[in-house]
Structure formats: C-alpha cells, structure tokens
C-alpha cells in the first residue's frame, strides 16, 4: 500500500492505459477508453482479435492477466499511466497488490478488498458491520447446524425457501436457490461432502478459517445491478442495469453468466440510486478501509427489489458483464480520468475536474439494450469453431457489437471461441426503441447452434413499481464523502 497517493494529488488524464482481460466486458472498456481524446494508447493483455481492431489498441496475447510479474513487466515496459483490471481472477491472484507496491496506479481492488466478491461470508460480515441490509442468513462450517438453520428458514411463516451459497471463488456456480427444505438439504449435503467432521469444523471456525457455506432466507423480487467507481471512501455510480441470468426466455433454463442487460431500470429510478450508493457503497467502503483493505475499483451491488425495499444480495469487485456493455455507451463523461482518479485515491478530485456533482455519472439520455449471443451447448461445454455470419450487417444496422468469445482466422472470418460469444448493443431514446435496434441487429448475426433470448427488455416493469423499491426501511446515511467536496 506504500504507493497509494494522498487525496491532494493532482489528477491528470491517463494517456497510456493497460487493460487486463479479453472478454466482452473488456471489449466495452477498451472501446470506451480508445474513443477518449485524452487516451493515446490502450494496451490489452491478453485482449482478443476483435479488441485488437479498435483504434489505438495493441493486444499482448502472450501476457497472462493472472501473472503478477508478467503484468508488472508489461506495465513498466510500456510505461503505462493506469492499469484497469476487467475480470476477478487477476484480483484474486494479487495482481493489483503487486502493481500498487510498484507504484503503478491501478483501477481494481487489492486482494483483501476484492475478497468481498468471492467470500459470501466476508461480504455479509462487512455489510453487517457497515449497517447495510442483506437477506437474513448465517455462515456455517459444519453440516448439521446449516441444515437446522435452513429448516428453520424454510418453515418460517411466509417463507419462500432458502438459498445455499458456497463460500469461495465458484465461477458463478456456487449459489442454489431452493424452494423448500428438501432442495436446500440436497445442496448442503453436496457442498459438505468431503468437508471436515464436526470437531474439525469447529476448530476451523475458531481459527478464523472461511466457512463452507452461507445459508440465507430466499427473497423474491426483481433484480438490479448498481455499479459504482470507488476509491477508499468515495463512490460515483453508473446508471443501474438489469441482467438476465437464465438461458431461456421468461427466465427459464439454467443459470448463465448473463444473457442480456438493459439500462435504465424503470423500477429503480436514478434518484433512488443516489440514495442507495449512500446506503450501500459508501458504508461498505468505509468498513473495508477501517479493516485495512481499502477498495479502489468498481464495486458492484447486486440488489433485489423486494416489497420492503431494495436489499443487497451480493457484491462483486469488478464491472458486471454484460451490464457494462449496456452501460458504457450511455455515459456522457470520459471514463479514463475517473478511473485514474479512483486508482490514485482521488475520485472526488477527478469528478470535480469534470464538473460532476452528486453520486451518479451523467448519461447521454439514451437507453441501451445488450443481447448476448451464446455458442451451441452453453452453459455446458460450449462448441467452438462455428463460423459467424452477419457481423458487418449488424454494425450497419446501427448496433455496437462487443466480442466476448471469438477468434479470427487467417481468412478474416470470425468463429465462436467461448460460451458467451457476442453482445449486440442497441441504443434508442426509450428502452423500447433501444430494444428494437438491438433485436434488428442481433437478427443479422448467425451461426450454427447460436443461442439467445428474445425477451431482453421486452416486458418492462412499470415505473410505478419504483414506489415499492423506494419504501426501504433501512437507515439512510448521507454522512461523509460527497463528490466535488473534500472528504
Ligand atoms: P449471488 O452470486 O449471491 O448473486 O447469487 C446469484 C443469484 O442467486 C442472484 O442473482 C439471485 O438471483 C440469486 N440469489 C442470491 N441470493 C438470494 C436470496 N437471498 N434470495 C433469492 N435469490 C437469491
Ligand atoms: N452479470 C453478472 C456479473 O457480472 O456478475
């Protein structure tokens, strides 16, 4: 942490930026940064063929983003002003810690702060200490007490079941939402298979080792993602977005990394978002800083809009994918100076230089809809190598196409090379218009076995539902940091 600059440091633009990652989220980040006047060069490790087609961009496929020494060597050799970390794996690998030790400004949290993403128990502990409301739940090291707690949750009056969450990096596969106790029992027994016996579990708990699971009450409601650029104390939020996690229309089929997103979110007005940032992001940042794990990066709050108000159900330590593909084209402010400001611990200074006030980043006024096109057999082992048709036609239809899992052959032909292959983003003055543009462009793209949803932003909740969302009984704290004012 020795290199972290004080808040008095002057924030200048980052002319040379190194972005880590090579998926759809990183394509959107690179697309955005490369279009900013202050950015001269974007280096991407490993990047992708499609990312390499953006202006000002050079990909370095030989550098593995989770290798701290290789990333530091690249950042140093290319004399970058800022490193932006896309996925969670480099955070967990301690890449940011190594870069910060070496004095390289980095947008992305150090490992001890990023843990809020992969340890569900740590997230709950931090939220509780910060006074942030989450679903009722507890962490468990042993099977029997976990079963007893799940049984009680499922039997409570009005219960909708229980949710079983594995603690640890599970690549999005650690959560089982259970309608009843029988389902929760199956999930718990599977997670505890091979876990230590009760006596050892107690020793693990006493030694402060991570639990095996978190069990929570099952909440119901629409979900939304509220992602904020953060430094140690301050937060500046992107507009809210809504992801669609199930593979098939009408939220059927298996869970995926996300099959589409839209923004704005009619049932989560931006005025309420500003309050939520004060209620959720800011206290969590303060608590992490208090614990010696200051967070500089994108703090993603996964919310459930319950009849009693919005409840935090998860934190991620990075931008959402595909949320950010829908969000970045809506921003009316350059990202580079803000990411650098956050990396230097002076987000407020960067925001002030841009003339920003309040908790929310300004938008162009356009709505955005991102439709994910996925490979055959996703989310199981996706089929690779299918030739992709219609990319030029989709672009001509006015959409922006971000590549998540493609490779370009020597003949210039793009082929599928991952589960989620493309995000097709349409803009419009309303969500309906943005959806029509996204659908029209997505219809042009074809390959054998392509899977996609046709209902992203199709049935929008009424804005009146915001009343329920606004009825949060949680205490609102506006104390502390405000954009444009010293902490
Ligand atoms: P997480 O990784 O914690 O976000 O969980 C993945 C998904 O599980 C979320 O997007 C929700 O759909 C669902 N989920 C998580 N926690 C709960 C909860 N307490 N009640 C209902 N659904 C939940
Ligand atoms: N779209 C959900 C996530 O990025 O975790």
Q: CA 487 to CA 483: how far, in whole Å?
A: 9
The two counts, helices (H) then strands (E), for the chain are 17, 22
Q: CA 104 to CA 4: how far, in whole Å?
A: 9
Cα-only R_g, the chain:
22
Q: CA 394 to CA 401: how far, in whole Å?
A: 8
Task: List C-alpha distances in Å: 141 to 147, 173, 190, 202.
Answer: 11, 19, 14, 7
Q: From 3.10.20.740, 3.90.600.10, 3.40.50.300, 3.30.200.20, which CATH number describes the 366-470 domain?
A: 3.90.600.10
Q: Is any ligand 1 atom within 6 A of the Cβ of residue 314?
A: yes
Q: Is any ligand 2 atom within 6 A of the Cβ of residue 88?
A: no
- Give 114 Cα–ligand 1 centroid separation in angstroms: 19
Q: CA 149 to CA 290: how far, in whole Å?
A: 31
Task: List C-alpha distances in Å: 59 to 20, 76, 371, 409, 429.
Answer: 10, 16, 25, 16, 34
Q: Count CB-CB contacts under 10 A for residue 189.
A: 12
The number of the ligand 2 atom at minimal distance from the alpha carbon of 319 is 4
Per-block average pLDDT, block size 10, for the chain (487 residues)?
A: 39 85 98 96 98 98 97 98 97 98 98 96 96 95 95 94 87 82 95 80 85 94 97 96 96 94 95 95 98 98 94 97 98 96 97 95 96 97 98 96 97 97 98 98 98 96 55 35 26
To test the pocket of ligand 1, the residue of 124, 150, 167, 175 to mutate (highest count of ligand atoms within 8 Å of its CB) is 175
Q: CA 414 to CA 401: how far, in whole Å?
A: 13
Q: Is any ligand 2 atom within 6 A of the Cβ of residue 321?
A: yes
DSSP class of residue 328? G
**Is 236:228 a contact under the CB 8 Å cutoff?**
yes
- Give 171 Cα–ligand 1 centroid separation in angstroms: 14
pTM of the shown model: 0.92
Name the segment(s) of the chain with CATH classification 3.40.50.20. 8-108
Q: Count CB-CB contacts under 10 A for residue 265.
A: 30
Q: Is any ligand 1 atom within 6 A of the Cβ of residue 164?
A: no
- Give 320 Cα–ligand 2 centroid separation in angstroms: 4
Q: Is any ligand 1 atom within 6 A of the Cβ of residue 177?
A: yes
- Identify the pLDDT of residue 416: 98
**Is 267:463 a contact under the CB 8 Å cutoff?**
yes
The number of the ligand 2 atom at minimal distance from the alpha carbon of 321 is 4
CATH class of 8-108: alpha beta
The number of the ligand 2 atom at minimal distance from the alpha carbon of 243 is 1
Q: Is any ligand 1 atom within 6 A of the Cβ of residue 313?
A: yes
Q: Is any ligand 2 atom within 6 A of the Cβ of residue 137?
A: no
Question: What would be the CATH architecture of the domain defined by 136-217?
Answer: 2-Layer Sandwich (3.30)
Name the segment(s) of the chain with CATH classification 3.30.1490.20. 136-217
Q: CA 360 to CA 473: how far, in whole Å?
A: 22
Q: CA 213 to CA 163: how far, in whole Å?
A: 10
- Identify the pLDDT of residue 202: 84
Q: Is any ligand 1 atom within 6 A of the Cβ of residue 232?
A: no
Q: CA 90 to CA 110: how far, in whole Å?
A: 10
Q: Is any ligand 2 atom within 6 A of the Cβ of residue 234?
A: no
∠ CA 362-39-17, rounded to 5°? 100
Instruction: Look at ligand 1, atom 13, and give the residue with the nearest C-alpha.
Output: 177
Name the segment(s) of the chain with CATH classification 3.90.600.10. 366-470
Residue count of the chain: 487
Which phi and psi angles does 304 have, rounded to 5°? Answer: -115, 125
Q: Which of 30, 8, 47 is nearest to 82 (CA)?
A: 30
Sign of CA dihedral 361, 364, 368, 370: negative
Q: Is residue 282 packed enough to be buried (19+ CB in 10 Å), middle (13-18) or exposed (0-12)? A: buried
Q: Is any ligand 2 atom within 6 A of the Cβ of residue 320?
A: yes
Task: List C-alpha distances in Å: 122 to 2, 219, 223, 229, 355.
Answer: 25, 20, 22, 21, 36
């Amino acid at each position: 942490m020795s290199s972290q600059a004080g808040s008095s440091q002057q924030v200048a633009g980052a002319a040379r930026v190194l972005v880590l990652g090579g998926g759809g989220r990183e394509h959107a980040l690179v697309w955005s940064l490369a279009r900013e006047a202050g950015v001269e060069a974007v280096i991407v490790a490993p990047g992708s063929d499609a990312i390499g087609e953006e202006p000002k961009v050079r990909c370095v496929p030989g550098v593995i983003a989770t290798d701290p020494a290789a990333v530091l060597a690249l950042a140093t050799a290319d004399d970058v002003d800022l490193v932006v970390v896309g996925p969670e794996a480099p955070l967990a690998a301690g890449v940011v810690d190594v870069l910060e030790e070496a004095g390289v400004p980095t947008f992305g949290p150090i490992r001890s702060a990023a843990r809020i993403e992969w340890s569900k128990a740590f997230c709950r502990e931090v939220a509780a200490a910060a006074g942030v409301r989450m679903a009722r739940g507890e962490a468990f090291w042993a099977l029997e007490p976990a079963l007893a707690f799940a049984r009680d949750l499922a039997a409570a009056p009005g219960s909708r079941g229980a949710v079983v969450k594995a603690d640890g990096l599970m690549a999005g596969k650690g959560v089982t939402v259970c309608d009843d106790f029988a389902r929760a029992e199956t999930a718990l027994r599977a997670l505890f298979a091979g876990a230590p016996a009760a006596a050892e579990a107690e020793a693990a708990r006493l030694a402060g080792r991570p639990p095996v699971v978190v069990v929570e009450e099952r909440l119901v409601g629409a979900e939304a993602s509220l992602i904020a650029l953060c430094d140690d104390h301050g937060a500046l939020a992107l507009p809210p977005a809504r992801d669609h996690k199930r593979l098939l229309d009408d939220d059927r089929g298996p869970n995926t990394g996300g099959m589409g997103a839209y923004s704005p979110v009619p049932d989560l007005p931006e005025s309420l978002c500003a309050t939520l940032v004060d209620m959720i992001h800011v206290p969590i940042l303060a608590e992490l800083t208090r614990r010696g794990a200051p967070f500089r990066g994108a703090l993603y709050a996964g919310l459930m809009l319950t009849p009693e108000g919005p409840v935090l159900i998860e934190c991620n330590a990075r931008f959402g994918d595909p949320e950010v593909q829908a969000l970045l084209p809506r921003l009316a402010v350059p990202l580079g100076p803000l990411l650098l400001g956050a990396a230097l611990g002076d987000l407020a200074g960067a925001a002030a230089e841009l003339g920003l006030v309040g908790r929310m980043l300004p938008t162009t006024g356009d709505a955005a809809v991102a439709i994910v096109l996925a490979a055959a057999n996703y989310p199981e082992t996706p089929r690779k190598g299918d030739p992709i048709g219609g990319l030029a036609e989709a672009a001509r239809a006015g959409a922006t196409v971000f590549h998540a899992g493609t490779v370009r052959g020597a003949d210039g032909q793009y082929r599928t090379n991952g589960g989620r292959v493309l995000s097709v983003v349409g803009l419009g003055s309303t969500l309906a218009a943005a959806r029509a543009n996204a659908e029209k462009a997505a219809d042009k793209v074809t390959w054998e076995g392509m899977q996609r949803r046709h209902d992203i932003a199709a049935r929008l909740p009424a804005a009146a539902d915001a009343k329920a969302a606004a009825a949060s009984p949680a205490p609102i704290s506006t104390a502390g940091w405000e954009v444009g004012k010293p902490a």
